[in-house]
Structure formats: structure tokens, C-alpha cells
């Protein structure tokens, strides 16, 4: 069969994810499915960097779908089905709302695809696709093949890798606890090492949701990959600061940047959203420890919790400066359709009618907050972004001066950091709904 695997476009110029306009984070999930498609002719199209080949004919089209790309995905699917191709959808959105997706697809994968993909391909070859494919258990990470990177658009200075899946935390705003792959699982360290060694890129991004759920595993992994002399960025919980040895090993292994979920400056919001692992009093010490090891810190902050009032924006800007962040990504609380928080807001009559799905990208208010209007929520976040952007720009020369080796060894990284900090951000920017 001729198979096309698609990731619809995620990023929009000037939008929330301004840094990623210059960074190719390739869809490893599609590369993994390609590796499981032996005997078939596979093409991968990343909508952020590749043109979708509508002019070509395919037997099967697979689309990975999030809530905020769902309308775009449906338009893509409809075009290919009109040409006679069979369409299968997978990812977070089909796992939460499979029946909705089946209005535009012949099949939906609920949960991880590794254990059902070959069955799906066999059925497709026979013309006998089932509506739903769902594995009976989470994927063992050692059963996950290395992605077909030859099919991914990796002509970049950065590459991605995954060592773990899942997260044990149960934060209310996160969709992860409600999808079948939430259980924390670890990949054999030697397999991670060999894949990392095979990458030509020197700058790496770990796509793991929470690699640190098992600190002993994380430390052993960092010890193993340190000799490769790569540098990497990673997502990490605030709790890593309670383990100085872990942070030391992470730095020695090449970590230069951490994206950390502080989430809020309001202790009541931590409680409301069940962010039980965070303690605001620990934030400054966490950043200080990372800075001690020359690790840059981008903080994630979210707004719109029921316990937030209109003063949350000023307090959060002050906190970001007080704890000495190097950058921050600011988000609007976004309830994904199919999750408990979405159903809660729906029951309370707080969902905003007529919001297109591209509004569900964590940049726009799609519900009525408790203590402000939706317009005040969006305006407050935008104002906080503007105020912090100037602060971070002023810090940039010092941060780069502290790392002179970057200027020579990793020019693509330096350009991306400078572009990200100086690029204008407007959270009202959205994806187009069409294909």
C-alpha cells in the first residue's frame, strides 16, 4: 500500500509558540508508525514544514490529531477521502472523542498505536478496516522501534528523542491522566544511548512529558549519555530541585535548558488544579540551583483557574522576576473536549459558544472564568507577555556572555534564542481551520 502519515500544522507566526517558528520538532510518532509499516511505501508530511501532497494518490492516510488541529485534520481527511483514500486518525483528540473523528475518518486509534498498527494495516489491505482500534495494554517502551528518521524533515540543527512516556501527576488541566498512555514507562537506557549516538545533530530535545518520575532512572540515563557530548533541552517538574545530585548529573550530561511547570503564583490555584507536587516557596531555590549549573530556565505559567482574580497577572510577572526566570511561556487554561474539566465547565454553563477548535491551543479563553471576563483573561495574559518580554530581552546579553562557547559551536541555537525573545507575540493569532 501507499501510505501517507500527516501531522497538521501546529504553529502560527506571531503566536504563542513563537520560539518554535524556527525550530523543527519532528513528529517522532509518525516516524515510529513508518518503522512499523514494513512492506509498504510510506510518506511523512509535517504540516509545519512540508507541503501536504494532495496531488498524489494514497491507499491509506494516517493523521495525528490534537483538539486545536482537529478542524484542520477533518478538512485534510475529507479531501483525501474524496479521492478514494481510507483515513485513520490517532493522537489525543481521537483518543478522547473517537466517534466525532469517525465522521471524517474510516478508523480511529484510541490510545497508543504500536500494538494495533500492523493489524490495522492488514485490515486496510483487505478493505476491512474496523472503526476503532485500541490496544489492551500500554506500550512497553522497549517494543517501540527507532523512528524512520529518513522520512522525517530533520534538515535542522536540532533533533528530538524520547526516553519515557506518561506522568504520575494528576493535574486537573492536563489531558494526559484521561488518555490510555498516561502510565509512566521507561525505555531501556542502552537503546536511548544508541539512538542518541546515531543522531548527527548536537542539540537535542527530549519530548518526554516527565522523564524524572523515576529519579534513579534519570540519573543512570544522564550518566550513560554524558560521553556523547550532546547538549539538550528537557521538560522537568519543580521537584527535581530537591535532588541536587540529579541536577548535577543532568548538567554534566549536557542539559543547557529546562522547561519547568511552575504554573501559578497563587497557592490556592495549585490546590484547585491538583498540582500537588508544586510549592511556591521552593521556586526561587529551584531556579537558583539550575542556574548554578548554567542551565537556562523557561517557566510555564497558566492563568484562568477558578481561584485566580484580576491581580494574578501583576503578581505572576513579579514572581517571574523574583525567581529569576530566563524566559516564560504563558498559557490560558484550556479544557479539552472529552476531559473531566470540560464536562465540569459544560455542566456549569461556562463554555463559550461558537469557539472554533483552533481556539483550544492554550492561548485563548474558551470558557467563562470565575473572577474575570474571558476578555480580561486574554488581555491580562497578553499584557503579562509584553511586560516579561522586555525583561527577558534585557537579560539576554548577560546569559549569552556566560556561555561564549554557544556562539561558535551552536549558531542555530543562538539564533533561535534571539529570534524567540525578540519576536512579537500575540495570543490572538490562530491556525487556519482549512486544509
Compute the Cα dihedral for 342, 165, 169, 287 and give only its sign: negative
Secondary structure letter of residue 287 according to DSSP: H
pLDDT number for residue 154: 82
What backbone torsions phi and psi does residue 63 show, to the nearest 5 degrees?
-125, 125
pLDDT digits (tens, 9 = 90+) for 210-257: 999 999 999 999 999 999 999 999 999 999 999 999 999 999 999 999
Q: For 340, how many CA atoms within 13 A lie in the half-sphere containing its CB?
A: 11
Report the predicted TM-score, pTM, of the whole model to 2 decimal places. Answer: 0.94
Banded model confidence at residue 202, pLDDT cuts 50, 70, 90 = very high
By percentage, how much of the chain surpasses pLDDT 70? 96
Among the listed ranges 185-194, 220-229, 300-309, 412-421, which one has the minimum average pLDDT value?
412-421
pLDDT digits (tens, 9 = 90+) for 328-364: 999 999 999 999 999 999 999 999 998 999 899 899 9
List Cβ neighbours of 117 (8 Å cut-off, separation of 6 or more).
Answer: 33, 36, 37, 109
- Left if phi > 0, otherwise alpha if psi is -120 to 50, otherwise beta: which for 374? alpha
Cα–Cα nearest to 427, from 394, 390, 380, 372 = 380
Among the listed ranges 122-136, 184-198, 306-320, 400-414, which one has the minimum average pLDDT value?
400-414
pLDDT, mean of residues 117-138: 97
Cell of 16: 504563542
Separation CA 225–CA 178 (nearest Å) = 32
pLDDT number for residue 194: 98
List Cβ neighbours of 53 (8 Å cut-off, separation of 6 or more).
Answer: 4, 43, 45
Above 70 in pLDDT, residue 186? yes
pLDDT number for residue 435: 57
Alpha helices in 209-353 (DSSP H): 215-225, 244-252, 267-272, 283-292, 312-322, 340-347
pLDDT number for residue 99: 97
pLDDT number for residue 10: 87
Residues facing residue 7 across a β-bridge? 46
Cα–Cα nearest to 40, from 96, 101, 111, 118 = 118
Cα–Cα nearest to 83, from 113, 103, 53 = 53
pLDDT number for residue 357: 92
Above 80 in pLDDT, residue 3? yes
pLDDT digits (tens, 9 = 90+) for 33-62: 999 999 999 999 999 889 999 999 999 999
Separation CA 114–CA 126 (nearest Å) = 20
Separation CA 225–CA 227 (nearest Å) = 6
Q: Which CATH superfamily is domain 157-402 in?
A: Aldolase class I (3.20.20.70)
Residues facing residue 330 across a β-bridge? 301
Banded model confidence at residue 385, pLDDT cuts 50, 70, 90 = very high
Above 70 in pLDDT, residue 68? yes
Above 70 in pLDDT, residue 153? yes
Cα 94 from chain centre: 17
pLDDT number for residue 51: 94
Separation CA 233–CA 255 (nearest Å) = 6
- Left if phi > 0, otherwise alpha if psi is -120 to 50, otherwise beta: which for 226? alpha
Secondary structure letter of residue 255 according to DSSP: E
Q: Please identify, in words, the CATH class of the domain defined by 2-134.
A: alpha beta
Contact indicator for 301, 316 with CB cutoff of 8 Å: yes
Contact indicator for 194, 145 with CB cutoff of 8 Å: no
Contact indicator for 263, 301 with CB cutoff of 8 Å: yes
- CA-based max dimension of the chain: 62
| Beta-sheet pairing, 231-236 with 255-263 | parallel
Spans of all domains in the chain: 2-134, 157-402
Compute the Cα dihedral for 336, 79, 38, 197 and give only its sign: negative
Cα 10 from chain centre: 10
Q: Provide DSSP, 93-157.
A: HHHH-HHHHTTT-SEEEES--TTTHHHHHHHHHHT---SEEE-SSPPPGGGPPPP-GGGS---SS
Amino acid at each position: 500500500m501507499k501510505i501517507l502519515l500527516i501531522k497538521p500544522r501546529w504553529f502560527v507566526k506571531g503566536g504563542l509558540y513563537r520560539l518554535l517558528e524556527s525550530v523543527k520538532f519532528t513528529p517522532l510518532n509518525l516516524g515510529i508508525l513508518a518503522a512499523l509499516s514494513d512492506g509498504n511505501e510510506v510518506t511523512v508530511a509535517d504540516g509545519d514544514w512540508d507541503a501536504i501532497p494532495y496531488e498524489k494518490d494514497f491507499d491509506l492516510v494516517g493523521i495525528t490529531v490534537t483538539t486545536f488541529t482537529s478542524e484542520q485534520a477533518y478538512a485534510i481527511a475529507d479531501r483525501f477521502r474524496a479521492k478514494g483514500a481510507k483515513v485513520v486518525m490517532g493522537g489525543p483528540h481521537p483518543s478522547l472523542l473517537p466517534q466525532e473523528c469517525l465522521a471524517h475518518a474510516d478508523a480511529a486509534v484510541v490510545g497508543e498505536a504500536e500494538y494495533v498498527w500492523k493489524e490495522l494495516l492488514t485490515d486496510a489491505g483487505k478493505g476491512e478496516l474496523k472503526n476503532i482500534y485500541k490496544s489492551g495494554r500500554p506500550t512497553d517502551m522497549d517494543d517501540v522501534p527507532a523512528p524512520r528518521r529518513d522520512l522525517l524533515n530533520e534538515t535542522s540543527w536540532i533533533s528530538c528523542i524520547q526516553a519515557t512516556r506518561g506522568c504520575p501527576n494528576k493535574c486537573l488541566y492536563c489531558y494526559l491522566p484521561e488518555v490510555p498512555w498516561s502510565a509512566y514507562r521507561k525505555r531501556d537506557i542502552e537503546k536511548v544511548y544508541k539512538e542518541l549516538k546515531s543522531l548527527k545533530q548536537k542539540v537535542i530535545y527530549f519530548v518526554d512529558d516527565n522523564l524524572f518520575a523515576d529519579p534513579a532512572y534519570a540519573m543512570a540515563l544522564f550518566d550513560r549519555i554524558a560521553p556523547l557530548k550532546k547538549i539538550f533541552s528537557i521538560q522537568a517538574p519543580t521537584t527535581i530541585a530537591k535532588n541536587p545530585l540529579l541536577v548535577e548529573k543532568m548538567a554534566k550530561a549536557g542539559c543547557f535548558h529546562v522547561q519547568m511547570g511552575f504554573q501559578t503564583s497563587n497557592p490556592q490555584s495549585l490546590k484547585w488544579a491538583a498540582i500537588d507536587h508544586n510549592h511556591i516557596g521552593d521556586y526561587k531555590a529551584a531556579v537558583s540551583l539550575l542556574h548554578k549549573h548554567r542551565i537556562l530556565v523557561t517557566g510555564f505559567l497558566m492563568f484562568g483557574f477558578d481561584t485566580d482574580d484580576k491581580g494574578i497577572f501583576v503578581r505572576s510577572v513579579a514572581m517571574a522576576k523574583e525567581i529569576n526566570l530566563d524566559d516564560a511561556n504563558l498559557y490560558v487554561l484550556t479544557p479539552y473536549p472529552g476531559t473531566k474539566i470540560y464536562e465540569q465547565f459544560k455542566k456549569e454553563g461556562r463554555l463559550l459558544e461558537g469557539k472554533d477548535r483552533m481556539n483550544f491551543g492554550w492561548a485563548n479563553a474558551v470558557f467563562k472564568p470565575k473572577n474575570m471576563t474571558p476578555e480580561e483573561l486574554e488581555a491580562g495574559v497578553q499584557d503579562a507577555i509584553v511586560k516579561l518580554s522586555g525583561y527577558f530581552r534585557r537579560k539576554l546579553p548577560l546569559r549569552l556572555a556566560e556561555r561564549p562557547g554557544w556562539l561558535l559551536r551552536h549558531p542555530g541555537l543562538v539564533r533561535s534564542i534571539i529570534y524567540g525573545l525578540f519576536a512579537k507575540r500575540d495570543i490572538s493569532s490562530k491556525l487556519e481551520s482549512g486544509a
